[in-house]
Amino acid sequence: MSSELESIVDKVLNYISKKNVDYSDLRMEKTVYSSIIYTNGRIERIQHGATKGIGVRLLANGAFSFVTINQLDLNKIYNTIDDGVSAAKLLGERRKEKIRLMDVKSVRDEVKYRVLDNPVNIDLNEKKKVVEKLYKIASNIDKRIVNITIFLMDSVREKILANTDGTLIKFYIPRVRIGLNTVAMFKGKIGSYMRYEGFVSGYESIYKMDFDEYSRKIVSKALKMLEAEPAPSGRFTVITDPDLTGVFSHEAVGHACEGDLVVSGESILAGKLGKRVGSELVNIYDDSTYPNGWGSLKYDDEGVLTQKRLLIEKGILRKYITNRETAVKLDMEPNGGARAQDYSHPPIVRMSNTYMAPGDWSFEEMIEDIKYGVYLLGSRGGQVDTAKGTFQFNAQEAFLIENGEITKPLLDVSLSGLTLETLMNIDALSKEFTLRTGTCGKGGQGVPAGTGGPHARIRNAIVGGRR
């Protein structure tokens, strides 16, 4: 981060100190990014650019205002802050319940991720060669693959987080992500499969990938779906793969543990701390400290040290995810759960890497006594109602389990049910564990998030299939 930007932060904080506000924090950012979408041998879209700006929260009269500007002109920043101060004071006059923030220690630190092949230093022609190489490999595997789309994205974000309590943290965060989507067609049937890989690093992680293995795995899954048959509907014993176990842990459980939803009464887990919400096998974490995790970061966007949060321990609800405001309302410590998409958005309570801890079963042991069940893999999306505690996910792949063996592939299968009932019905977890990369959306913001877990066996689960 340049000394010029640090100088701007100091001047802005000094300006705010002369205003009659109770607290303020700011995030100044500069991000360089690029993305390529490559479909069937041609570039469909290419983007390259940079953004910079500042976002400021101002607390006055017990109310927050948030202002943002995509320029670093001091006079314009000052004018924007003046508007924000006026807005906060006006809101505070009308607000019955005043916002209070839990006290935390101020921090001075620098968080810089190691990067060898910095995305900023790699030109677009070199990035284009990466997608062309992957396309060449994937397109030569099988003639039944009729559509191939490759996504390549990278960013380098420099950020300064500072507040009027004395915190000042500098961040340098590189990210690269690549995705491959394949569509197979044969005799009127269609199968598809999509998979992303992401790294908090530079292009060295992309260069280390085995594109041949990566392509063959994705292509083979798309081809397998050409054999898929209509799925049964009803209640069955279900095995979810680590990807789908992670999505369930994130969507159905993690969101319900977010402090703002708990406080507002929009969570099925409100008021259940210390109570049983799942079987004794269930341990679910939201872990911002996971090594090289896609959603990991040392500090949140309020400058609070993040944690490995044990949300559910042996089926007992132990913790919610909090920011400084909800920590006061819930009488808990702030545990580093405030995150923002970028400088132009205010920090809100968010997850980081949410996963179910593994068990001690082998996959073979988990399926050997299932006479008739369903094996579900991955997710194509779905919906969750955290207030009612209901969910529905569409699996990316599915297979029938018959007499302890994986048999036929199934078409368009969904898993649905009640969150608490499903947690109670988990009776086996595998030793195998993986953590995947993704993007979590909430409040109009998207942030990097990891999801994962083991294979999970769920008794009496609701399965639906399209016929």
What digits encode the pLDDT tens for the residues 120-135? 999 999 999 999 999 9
Total domain count for the chain? 2
Examine the domain organization and report whether 240 and 380 are in the same domain: yes
Nearest Cα residue to 376 out of 360, 387, 392: 392
Residue whose pair of structure tokens reads 């049964």 in the numeric block: 232
Q: How crowded is residue 122: how many other Cβ atoms within 10 Å of its Cβ?
A: 17
Q: What is the pLDDT, as a whole number, of residue 381?
A: 86
- Going by C-alpha positions, the residue among 391, 260, 397 that lies closest to residue 332 is 260
Q: What percent of the chain has pLDDT over 70?
A: 99
Task: Please indicate, yes or no, whether residues 193 and 247 belong to a single structural domain of this protein.
Answer: no
Residues of the domain holding 139: 3-227
> Tokens at residue 201, please?
């690093």
Alpha-carbon gap, residue 408 to 361, rounded angstroms: 24
One domain for residues 437 and 455: yes
- List pLDDT tens digits, range 159-192: 999 999 999 999 999 999 999 999 999 999 999 9
Q: What is the pLDDT of residue 316?
A: 98
Q: Given this model, what pLDDT does residue 466 score?
A: 56
Same domain, 104 and 221: yes
Domain-ending residue, one of 163, 195, 227:
227
The DSSP symbol for 345 reads S
Whether 213 and 242 map to the same domain: the answer is: no
Domain co-membership, 141 together with 160: yes
What is residue 140's DSSP assignment? T
Nearest to 138 by CA among 99, 74, 184: 184
pLDDT computed for residue 6 by the predictor:
86
Q: What is the pLDDT of residue 382?
A: 87
What Rg value do the Cα atoms of the chain yield, rounded? 24
Domain boundary pick from 164, 194, 227? 227
402/367 same-domain check: yes
Q: Tens digit of pLDDT for each residue in 283-324?
A: 999 999 999 999 999 999 999 999 999 999 999 999 999 999
Taking each helix axis as running N to C, give the angle between helix 3-17 and helix 74-94, from 0 to 180 degrees, rounded to the nearest 10.
40
**Domain check: are 380 and 315 in the same one?**
yes
Question: Same domain for 257 and 135?
Answer: no
Closest CA to 325 of 317, 334, 316: 334
Residues 427 and 359 in one domain: yes
Q: Which residues pair with 354 in a beta bridge?
A: 286, 451
> In this structure, what CATH number is given to the domain that contains residue 21?
3.30.2290.10
| pLDDT value for 450 | 98
Q: Is there a single domain that holds both residue 199 and residue 301?
A: no
- For the stretch 322-350, pLDDT in tens is 999 999 999 999 999 999 999 999 999 99
245, 181: one domain: no
**Average pLDDT in the 354-360 region?**
98
4-13, 62-71, 166-175, 346-355: lowest mean pLDDT where?
4-13
Residue 438, pLDDT > 60, answer yes
467: pLDDT confidence band, cut at 50, 70 and 90?
A: very low
Residue 3: per-residue pLDDT: 72
Q: How far is 85 from 337, CA to CA, in rounded Å?
A: 25
Least confident window among 30-34, 220-224, 369-373, 380-384: 380-384
Which among 166, 200, 227 is the end of a domain?
A: 227
